[in-house]
Amino acid sequence: MKSIARITGLMLALSATIAFADENPLIGTWKLKSYVIVALATGERANPFGEHPLGYLSYSPDGRMHAIITADNRVRPRGALPEDEERVKLHQTMFAYAGTFTLDGEKVIHPVDISWNQLWNETDLVRSYKVNGSTLTITNPPSKNPKDGREEQGVLVWEKVKASTQ
C-alpha cells in the first residue's frame, strides 16, 4: 500500500513538472546571439562585450535557472593561474548568476542565489521577455550608466539550443 502511495505521489509531482514545462516557453537552454546597450535618449547602441559575446541561459522544469556571459576576445592568461592584472580583466569581461525563476505576464523574475557580483545575491533581477519561435529577447529595465549618468537599457537576444541527438 505504501508503494502505491509513493508511486502516486511521484506521478503527481512529475506531472506538475511536465505541465510547467509545457506551459513555459522559456524552458530549455538558450545560446547568446547578441548583447547591446541602448542609450534611451539617443538610441545609440553599444556592444559592451564585443560583437560576438558568448553565453548560455538555461531554464529548467524544476524552476531553476543559470546564466553566464563572457566578452569576445578575452585575455588569455600567460600561466596556469591568471596574474592579478589578468584576473581583473577576466572579471570585467564576464558575469554569471543562478537561482530560481518565475513568470509574471511578460516579465521573468530571477531571485538570485549565487552570482559573480555579491551585490546581486538575494535580490530579484526582473526582466522583460519575448519569445518568437526559437528566439528569446530579454530586456533589462532602464538604469543609469555609472560612468556618464545616461539612461540605458540592455537587450540580450538568445537562440534556443536544439536537443542533442547523441
pLDDT at 10: 39
pLDDT at 7: 45
Cα–Cα distance measured from residue 62 to residue 81, given in angstroms and rounded to the nearest whole number: 36
Average predicted confidence (pLDDT) for the chain: 89
Q: In the chain, which residues have pLDDT < 50?
A: 3, 5-19
Cα–Cα distance measured from residue 50 to residue 72, given in angstroms and rounded to the nearest whole number: 6
| Cell triple for 2 | 505504501
Task: Name the class of domain 25-160.
Answer: mainly beta
pLDDT tens for each residue of 12-24 = 443 333 435 568 9
pLDDT tens for each residue of 78-104 = 999 999 999 999 999 999 999 999 999
Residues 6-42: b if buried by 16+ CB within 10 A, e if exposed: eeeeeeeeeeeeeeeeeebebbbebebebbbbbeeee
The β-bridge partners of 70 are 54, 94
pLDDT at 54: 98
